A and B are shown apart, each in its own frame.
Chain A
Amino acid sequence: MAMRQTPLTCSGHTRPVVDLAFSGITPFGYFLISACKDGKPMLRQGDTGDWIGTFLGHKGAVWGATLNMDATKAATAAADFTAKVWDSVSGDEVLSLAHKHIVKSVNFTQDSNHLLTAGNDKLLRIFDLSNTDAAPQEIAGHGAAIKKALWCNDDKQILSAADDKTVRLWDRTSMEEVKTLTFNTSVSSMEYMADGEILVITYGKTIAFYNALSLELIKIAEAPAPINSASLHPEKDFFVAGGEDFKLYKFDYSTQEELESYKGHFGPVHCVRFSPDGELYASGSEDGTLRLWQTAVGKTYGLWKCVLPVCLDNSSESECGEP
């Protein structure tokens, strides 16, 4: 008997959820942070969606949020012209980094010692978190507001996507532009996967995969509706995308074939991310909710409990039931 996807709805936000990020896998599981226009980013247990805490302090919409690998620190980017660093165990604000305009994106290096920020003032900034009195390094070049900035290539390079319709690769040491991709329209999202050095970019109805080092195109897929965000499964067998038609789409990565689509959100999907173990993906929407979706529908995992003796799901590898 075929199982139907049951998304788990995480409520609590009162405005659109615009960004999501998972931590790595820690001894306490993995965690999920959500950025919301209500100004109150939230931390949740990644596999259940259970609320852990709310980071209080921003005085404007929070546009970006991230966790470091071991989920001990969080960083947020907001419309109050600050990026903040938080202790994500206690929820305390640790640092507030002033900017000259709305901050849209924050990203930790792997050792959590540096924070990359970017936003509407068109500059990339690198903050040394162990020396907060020092001014940040600044990289100029983009001609319009930067939407997303990410460390890549073992934190030796930086990728940035901006409203000037470009995605640029920068060298961290020289602070120079290495390569630029130009599009006909602004890129709506960008995700970087270190394992395999893959860059996932969305624009219009397109989900494109690039080599993150060379910025060469690997492959392209087209969705039925404009896409706001996409995420590649850690094992690179699926990718998921969501956008303006409120649905989540699941594709086969090797064939780019659309496998499934799921309804559930009551507004456009702004962000979608796979969990670090690939067992679920989380989506954030204009409707103010986050939803968790199973990769293998019907598998016993987190709060999903398969009670039938044998279940069939989309990927024929997994089955649930009594051992």
Chain B
Amino acid sequence: MTTPVPVLRLPKGPDPNSRGFDPNSPRYIALCRTTVATTEAAGGDEEELQQEQHARSVLRERFLRCLLAMNNKKVSDLHTPIGVQKEALIRSQDVISFTFDA
């Protein structure tokens, strides 16, 4: 007669709403470079924090404008794994990631 080994719980499955990589996990905090985000974390310089916040909102606005510009973008000579498409329309929901050279 054998008894199955008891388990504390089952392994946690994926979160249907997110791709994971919790930014609050100890590993993420230790290994991912993050900027100072809050007054408590900064411990001080009000002016510096305000400047940073301003810079962050400028960047956020630019990012959103970038996304809007990507919406329904007509392109030519699109390189794909099955060849070069002379003309194509990239829909915003097709975009998984984008990079650009400064």
Contacts and interface: CB of A to CB of B under 8 A. Distances in A.
Interface of A: 1-6, 8-12, 28, 42-44, 48-57, 59, 72, 80-82, 89-91, 93, 292, 294, 297-298, 303-308
Interface in B1-29: 1-15, 19-23, 25-28
Nearest to B12: A50
Contacts, number: 103
Contact of B12 (A1, A2, A51, A80): A51
A216 to B, nearest CB: 39
A305 B9 CA distance: 10
Nearest to A101: B81
B14 A56 contact: no
Contacts of B4: 3-6
B74 to A, nearest CB: 21
Contacts of A6: 4-7
Interface in B30-88: 30-32, 81
> Which among B5, B13, B15, B25 has the highest number of chain A CB atoms within 10 Å?
B5
B97 interface: yes
Contact of B21 (A10, A91, A305): A91
A283 to B, nearest CB: 14
Interface of B: 1-15, 19-23, 25-28, 30-32, 81, 96-97
Main secondary structure of the interface of B (DSSP, over half): loop
A12 B14 contact: yes
Contact of B32 (A49, A90, A307, A308): A90
Contact of A292 (B11, B14, B32, B81): B11
A52 B8 contact: no
Given A52-B20, A90-B32, A93-B97, A4 B14 contact: no
A303 B19 contact: no
Contact of A89 (B2, B8, B27): B27
A304 B5 contact: yes
A3 B32 contact: no
B81 A91 contact: no
B20 A51 contact: yes
> Which among A55, A82, A91, A292 has the highest number of chain B CB atoms within 10 Å?
A91
Contacts of B7: 6, 8, 303-305
A86 B4 CA distance: 38
A307 B4 CA distance: 11
28 contacts: A1-B1, A6-B6, A8-B7, A10-B13, A12-B13, A28-B26, A28-B27, A44-B11, A51-B12, A51-B13, A51-B15, A52-B21, A52-B25, A53-B19, A53-B22, A54-B19, A54-B20, A57-B96, A72-B31, A89-B28, A90-B21, A90-B28, A91-B21, A292-B11, A303-B8, A303-B10, A304-B7, A306-B6
A89 B32 CA distance: 7
Contacts of A54: 14, 19-20
Nearest to B15: A51
A292 B12 CA distance: 13
Contacts of B28: 89-90
Contacts of B11: 8-10, 44, 48-51, 292, 303
A303 B12 CA distance: 11
